[in-house]
Homo-oligomer: A and B are copies of this chain.
Amino acid sequence: MKIAKKTLGIDLGGTKILAAVVEEGKILATNRLATPQHDPVALYDAMADAAKPLLEEHPDVELVGLGSPGPLNLREGKIVFAPNIANLENAPVVKEMQARLNKIVTLENDANAAGFAEHLYGAAHNWRSSVYITVSTGIGAGLYIGNKIIHGAHGSAGEMGHMTMLPYGPLGGDSHHGTLESIAAGRAMEREARYSYHDDDMGARELFQRARDGEDKALKIIDNSARFVGIGMSNLQKVFDPEGFVIGGGISSQGEFYLSRVRTAYEHYSKGYPQAEIELAKLGTDAGVIGAASVALYPDRGL
């Protein structure tokens, strides 16, 4: 059951704060401010400043959702720390925002919120259960069933990029060998490209252009990434059996060129087993703020 109700979402990013009034997954109005650095009080004030004009325009909005980088303490409404915003250790963001806005505020991890938006209103809106996978610099995922988000016992479910795929594979940033992220994410593809082309400036964009031009070396790097993303999805299929997968993050700008390769690998490694549908994310950069607004409607969404 989707609830049709106007709410306000705040998407807290490392450089900008985006606030929006959202109804049934549609943005009605937005407001954007720069993210104050180093000063939590200035940050709370800026989020309130971004929200207030919208709440004045839409006095029927009662609920506010906040999407934040994590790790978070959802029970206590705190940001444990934010990798790209300084001095936010153990920040009681829900209490502070409720005091400033006089509304009920619901906190959610920004990636989970974006995936929840795709689940409810975007590419996955016809599926009862879905997995939202972002392939960007790193790789992450969100798991959804009905109106629920699987948070996990420590709030760390969905860390698909940290699965070990090759016990003797490349060493990842987390000091583990052969994680999905260390093999297949954007930074991993760049590492392969720079090494094999002897070019320390090559980026993922150039790599994809070379692959589209038919260069064998570039194609092999991209095929390898897509193969392991497909294996990771096939493994998730076996244990979680979702109705569909949504692929988002930076890679989605490569469209079918990447997705078709993921699909081929997924189908190969899932052969003989039930399979899920696979779609590209539909809400683009709006997913974060739509998701933030959406979690406000589902305070008991966590599993």
B234 adjacent to A158 (CB under 8 Å): no
B303 adjacent to A145 (CB under 8 Å): yes
A152 adjacent to B164 (CB under 8 Å): no
Q: Which residues on B sit within 8 Å (CB–CB) of A156?
A: 238, 241, 273-274
CB distance from A242 to the nearest CB of B (A): 6
Contact of A157 with B by CB under 8 A: yes
B239 adjacent to A158 (CB under 8 Å): yes
Contact of A263 with B by CB under 8 A: no
Contact of A214 with B by CB under 8 A: no
Q: Which residues on B sit within 8 Å (CB–CB) of A242?
A: 152-153
Q: Which residues on B sit within 8 Å (CB–CB) of A167?
A: 166, 227, 231, 269
Within 8 A of B (CB), among A206-229: 227
Question: Given the interface contacts A145-B303, A174-B272, A303-B145, does A238 sit within 8 Å of B153 by beta carbon?
Answer: no
When chains A and B are docked, how far (Å) is the Cα of A243 from the Cα of B242? Answer: 21
A175 adjacent to B239 (CB under 8 Å): no
Chain A, residues 103-146, CB within 8 Å of chain B (1/0): the string is 00000000000000000000000011100000000000101011
When chains A and B are docked, how far (Å) is the Cα of A3 from the Cα of B129? Answer: 27
Chain A, residues 7-48, CB within 8 Å of chain B (1/0): the string is 000000000000000000000000000000000000000000
- Identical chains bound together, number: 2
B241 adjacent to A239 (CB under 8 Å): no
Pick from B155, B238, B239, B273: contact of A240, CB below 8 A.
B239
Within 8 A of B (CB), among A262-279: 269, 271-274, 276
A241 adjacent to B271 (CB under 8 Å): no
Q: Which residues on B sit within 8 Å (CB–CB) of A238?
A: 156, 159-160, 162-163
CB distance from A161 to the nearest CB of B (A): 8
Contact of A198 with B by CB under 8 A: no
Q: Which residues on B sit within 8 Å (CB–CB) of A163?
A: 234-235, 238-239
23 A-B interface contacts by CB (under 8 A): A127-B153, A128-B153, A141-B239, A146-B303, A151-B241, A152-B240, A153-B276, A155-B241, A156-B238, A156-B274, A157-B239, A157-B240, A159-B239, A160-B239, A162-B273, A163-B234, A163-B238, A164-B231, A164-B235, A166-B166, A174-B272, A175-B271, A303-B303
On A, residues with C-beta under 8 Å from B are 127-129, 141, 143, 145-146, 148, 150-160, 162-164, 166-167, 174-176, 227, 231, 234-236, 238-243, 269, 271-274, 276, 303
Beyond the given A151-B241, A163-B239, could you list 20 further A-B residue pairs with CB under 8 A, ordered by the A residue number? A128-B153, A129-B152, A141-B239, A148-B303, A150-B241, A154-B274, A155-B241, A156-B273, A157-B241, A159-B273, A160-B238, A162-B238, A163-B238, A164-B269, A167-B231, A174-B272, A174-B273, A175-B272, A239-B240, A240-B240
